Amino acid sequence: MSYAGALLSRASFPIKLISSRIMPSIIAQNLDVVRRRISAMSLAAGRDSSSVQLLAVSKNFSADAIRAAHAAGQKAFGENYMREALGKMTALYPLRRFIEWHFIGPIQSNKTRAIAEQFDWVHSIDRLKIACRLSEQRPTHLPPLNVCVQVNISGEASKSGVSPSEIAALARDIVLLPRLQLRGLMSIPEPVSGLHIKGAPHRRLRELFDAVNAQDLHLDTLSMGMSSDFSEAILEGATIVRVGTALFGDRPYQTH
């Protein structure tokens, strides 16, 4: 068995779950485990571990959880819900300069201004109208907003994201928007189990990424892989893995 295969087949790695109480030491331990795993998988893929960025997905977790992860060296955080995110950003205002905020949830038109003003990255662009609004509303004192096009890789009707055939046209329109910096592609594949099946949607996104780049678009970001499949995603070329549960534990149930 290959080194990568051996790593993948190790049934599980020790992630401790946190329910309601956030324990900073457990978050720090989980971060350490996930970082080691990222390094091991990068090495297995013949890549430098600095080529993979860990995005800590903090939705449904408190500002204290973010503070604990930040204290343990984590810089980039992903949020899905605008109101929840703004509350945490306010609580963490003194850390603003040291935290990179990524918006990864579905985007409604009436939320674009807050996103353009408060976030550093958006992973979930799936239509030109939203991209145009974000570009118009991005304040001039901030650098261009980094964006990824979300691709519906599993072809489910319920999931957001553009179909693979729409990527190139949307990407070409986005690069013309002055206040956005098109960085790459993002996907949320439907959950599957099994080593080879898990890697398949990531491979597909990587191929689509290569095809877009062959058209001179210079994308550098593949945002793919979550707690259950970030190892497979790294083997397939992920440059950002979005990890929530493996860092913070099971999410307390919340309705938005």
Give residues in contact with ligand PLP (CB under 6 A). Answer: 57, 59, 80, 104, 188, 226-228, 242-246
CB of 71 to ligand PLP, least distance (A): 21
Task: Give the nearer residue to ligand PLP in terms of CB position, either 179 or 248.
Answer: 248
- Return d(Cα 251, Cα 234) in angstroms, integer: 24
CB of 57 to ligand PLP, least distance (A): 4
Other residues' Cβ atoms within 10 Å of the Cβ of residue 139: 11
Asked if 54 and 35 count as a contact pair (C-beta separation under 8 A), the reply is yes
Task: Give the nearer residue to ligand PLP in terms of CB position, either 126 or 179.
Answer: 126
CB of 78 to ligand PLP, least distance (A): 6
CB of 94 to ligand PLP, least distance (A): 26
Burial class of residue 175 in the structure, from the number of CB atoms within 10 Å of its CB (0-12 exposed, 13-18 middle, 19+ buried)? middle
Task: Give the nearer residue to ligand PLP in terms of CB position, either 164 or 244.
Answer: 244
Task: Give the nearer residue to ligand PLP in terms of CB position, either 80 or 213.
Answer: 80
Considering only CA atoms, which of 153, 103, 154, 108 is closest in space to residue 129?
A: 108
CB of 228 to ligand PLP, least distance (A): 6
Helical residues (DSSP H) of the chain, grouped into ranges: 3-9, 24-44, 63-71, 82-91, 112-118, 128-137, 167-174, 195-213, 230-235, 245-248
- Return d(Cα 115, Cα 133) in angstroms, integer: 10
Residue number closest to ligand PLP, CB atom: 244
Task: Give the nearer residue to ligand PLP in terms of CB position, either 76 or 179.
Answer: 76
